[in-house]
A and B are shown apart, each in its own frame.
Chain A
Amino acid sequence: MRQVLEGSQAVAFAVRLARAKVISAYPITPQTHIVEELAKFCADGSLDGRFICVESEHSAMATMIGAAAGGVRTFTASSSHGLAYMHEMLHWASAARLPIVMAEVNRALGPGWNLWLDQTDSLAQRDTGWIQLYCEDSQEAMDTTLQAYLLAETVNLPVMVVLDAFFLSHTFEPVDVPGQAAVDGFLPTFQPKFQLDPAAPCTLYPMAGPAVYMEMRQSLQAAMDRVPAVYARIQDDFAARFGRSYGVVEAFRCDDAEVVLVMAGTTASTCREMVQNLRAQGQRVGLLKLKLFRPFPAEAIHRCLKGVPKVAVVDRNNSAGAGGIFAQELKAALCNRQERPAIYSYVAGLGGRDITTGTLESIYWKTLEAAEPTQDSQWVDVHEELAKS
């Protein structure tokens, strides 16, 4: 059934369709609409779940860990400072191999306080062992949340479904909401591979010394390595049932492109329009949208960029001292390949600054006309006078 939903609602509807049992969260703008909706569902009985209002994000993730180890499906949502505060428990959740699903709304970190879109918060968690899936619109947010449960429960790793602040979390769009029976067919009842059970006592996560720790982390790596193939199967099944598929990356008009712009999130929608406009003018430009970020889909990216001479990575994030994070990842993924494009790195749209089709078009022209890439990221649309002061 098609409904007009906010991106936040699309996630909440998906969590209800997934029949999550324990939901725990701490409010932070712009994540609040997701958890308010779920609190309502638990209160009105449309979701047979318990909403636990904790006092911090650190406790929210700890509660998820307790509930998931207790053998039920879980959900939380956070953003920015909240996600950063959760950081310790993100490591715990993944190494505990618990299939927790979290929605993370990309928001800038202070100081100064800033509520708006910036991807540095989620990307700063790239080493925590969480699968990360980025979404472009409300439909994708709903579908990705449903897929996230199946993916998490198949490989026993937690999944972060990432949404842009406001541009996605607070924007209403028509969404095809699948029926409960169809979702139940796609996502069966959770069968935990292990759980706390007095009838079969076991100790979870005891001290692990040098003789065993490394193998534990290697098995986490192995689980991550399985993700691209497992996620492809899940997406195929989803497509057969619901008619929609996203891939781990999406190449849009990349054939014969001279310059391909690479990005994640809602900026990809703006870029599609820019690509259409420039293609109509005869420019050979394409878009590569990143959906899966952890594990980083190096193979798929390499395949999509075959024969492309120049790539412009548009990062709505920055790792101070190293530059745009997607660009770093792309460089690392391609550096040992015989055939690889020149990689141009642009930092743009931090802290909610708009990225318009004009912004992206200027990035295209700049890349096309450059003789070779700069080593550092180039900052786009900055007020030079303000930056110097």
Chain B
Amino acid sequence: MGREPFETVVATHHAEIYRYLRRVTAHANEAEDLSQEAFLRGFRAYRALPPDANVRAWMFAIATNLYRNHVRTESRRRAAHATVQRRSRESDGEGPEGEALFNEARAVLERVIDGLPLRQRLAFVLRKIHDLSYGEIARSLNCSEESARAHVFQAFRKIRQGLDGHDLPRPEVSA
């Protein structure tokens, strides 16, 4: 059996999956729990995975599914307690560097991303931050490649609109 041990999967992909979940969840402890759970599930299912499978995309799919289930139960719980709150992102803390404009634009961007419908938000983060292919995103979200494309496009359109009127950092690019 030429398969790499699951420890290698953890070593290779844990940091990225954790950061993915940290980006899409509102609270750090959610990302911690979900990333643990994702890898424990991965460990259990790893043997059944075809040897030529893309392990990274597979881990993203597990994490995405877990997160969507988590959102579903969370919103049910909140509805039950009738304390519907807007998702709020914990502050980045006091950034030591004063990249004011950049940080401000990024804060707005994160707010807009947080406000996107769930599937658009996940498709967008998977595509633009983690560079997954549309096929891989489709598998993560249980949808067609075409809808994955549409989700990302709609997300980008809304983000573009959401950033209207905000100053954007423009890096000096040589022509």
Do A and B come from the same complex? no
User: Which chain B residues have a beta carbon within 8 Å of chain A's beta carbons?
Assistant: none
Which residues on A are within 8 Å of B, measured CB to CB?
A: none
